Amino acid sequence: MTVYSVRSGDTLNALAKRFNTSVSEIAKANNITNPNKISTGQKLTIPDGFDRPTTKPTQSGGSSSGGGSSAPAQAAGNGGPVRDSNGRQYQTSSDGTPMYKQGDAEWGSRALGTGSSISAAGCAMTATSMAVSKISGQAINPGQMDKYLDSHGGYVGNGLVWDKAAQAAGLHASKQGWSLDTINKQVDAGRPVVIGVDYKAGSGGGANGTDHWITVTGRGKEGGKDVYFANDPATGKQITLRNEGGRLVGGPSNYKSTGELVTFSGGNPPKPGTTPSTPATPSTPSTGGTTGTGGTQAPAANATSLKGVTIPSANLKRGDTGPQVEQLQQALVKAGYMTSAQVNTGPGTFGPKTEAAVKKFQADHGVESIGQYGPKTRAAFEKLGAKVGGSTPSTPTTPTTPTGPIGDLPKTGNAFIDRVAADAIKSQRQTGVPASVTLAQAMLESGSGKSGLATKGNNFFGIKGEGPAGHVTMPTKEFLNGKWVTVDANFRKYNSPAESFADHGKFLRDNKRYANAFKHTDDAAQFAKEIHKAGYATDPEYSNKLISIINKYGLERFDQIGRQ
Q: What does the pLDDT read at residue 547? A: 93
pLDDT, averaged across the chain: 77
CATH 3.90.70.10 residue ranges for the chain: 74-265
Q: What does the pLDDT read at residue 153? A: 85
Q: With bands split at pLDDT 50, 70 and 90, how would you rate the model's confidence at 532?
A: very high
Q: What does the pLDDT read at residue 454? A: 92
- Residue 39's closest CA among 7, 81, 80, 84? 7
Range with lowest mean pLDDT among 210-214, 338-342, 408-412: 338-342
Q: Which of 25, 106, 478, 559 is catalytic?
A: 478
- Please list, in sequence order, all residues whose beta carbon lies within 8 angstroms of the beta carbon of residue 225, skipping any fewer than 6 positions away: 242, 243
Q: What does the pLDDT read at residue 265? A: 85
pLDDT above 70 for 224: yes
pLDDT above 60 for 60: no
pLDDT above 90 for 563: no
pLDDT digits (tens, 9 = 90+) for 428-453: 988 899 999 999 999 998 999 998 88
Fold of 74-265: Cathepsin B; Chain A (3.90.70)
pLDDT above 70 for 552: yes
> Once rounded to an integer, what is the mean pLDDT over residues 77-97?
68
Alpha-carbon distance of 387 to 348, in angstroms, equals: 19
SS3 per-residue string spanning 114-164: CCEEHHHHCHHHHHHHHHHHHHHCCCCCHHHHHHHHHHCCCEECCEECHHH
Q: What does the pLDDT read at residue 87? A: 62
Residue 389, class by beta-carbon neighbours within 10 Å (0-12 exposed, 13-18 middle, 19+ buried)? Answer: exposed
What type of residue sits at position 256? Answer: K
pLDDT above 80 for 55: no
Q: What does the pLDDT read at residue 527? A: 94
Range with lowest mean pLDDT among 66-75, 371-380, 411-420: 66-75
CATH 1.10.530.10 residue ranges for the chain: 415-461+483-562
For residue 535, the tally of other CB atoms under 10 A from its CB is: 10
CATH 1.10.101.10 residue ranges for the chain: 298-388
Domain spanning 298-388, CATH architecture: Orthogonal Bundle (1.10)
pLDDT digits (tens, 9 = 90+) for 238-279: 999 999 989 999 987 789 998 899 999 876 444 333 333 333
> Once rounded to an integer, what is the mean pLDDT over residues 229-244?
92
* Residue 181 appears among annotated catalytic residues: no
pLDDT above 50 for 282: no
Angle between helices 435-446 and 524-533 (to 10 degrees): 50
What's the distance, CA 210 to chain centroid? 22
pLDDT above 80 for 209: no
Q: What does the pLDDT read at residue 85? A: 56
pLDDT digits (tens, 9 = 90+) for 158-204: 788 898 999 988 888 888 888 998 999 898 888 999 999 987 654 44
Q: Which of 25, 355, 466, 503 is catalytic?
A: 503
pLDDT above 70 for 219: yes
Query: Please, are residues 418 and 448 in contact by the beta-carbon 8 Å criterion?
Result: no
0.85 exceeded by the pTM? no
> If you classify domain 1-47 with CATH, what class do you get?
alpha beta
DSSP secondary-structure letter at 222?
E
SS3 per-residue string spanning 330-356: HHHHHHCCCCHHHHHCCCCECCHHHHH
pLDDT digits (tens, 9 = 90+) for 449-489: 998 889 999 999 988 888 888 888 888 766 556 666 777 77
Q: What does the pLDDT read at residue 81? A: 63
pLDDT above 80 for 86: no
- Residue 98's closest CA among 56, 141, 149, 54? 141
> Once rounded to an integer, what is the mean pLDDT over residues 208-212?
78
Domain spanning 415-461+483-562, CATH architecture: Orthogonal Bundle (1.10)
Residue 44, class by beta-carbon neighbours within 10 Å (0-12 exposed, 13-18 middle, 19+ buried)? Answer: buried
CATH 3.10.350.10 residue ranges for the chain: 1-47
* Residue 478 appears among annotated catalytic residues: yes
H helix or E strand, kind and range, residue 491:
strand 483-492
Provide the percentage of residues in the chain whose pLDDT is more than 90.
Answer: 23
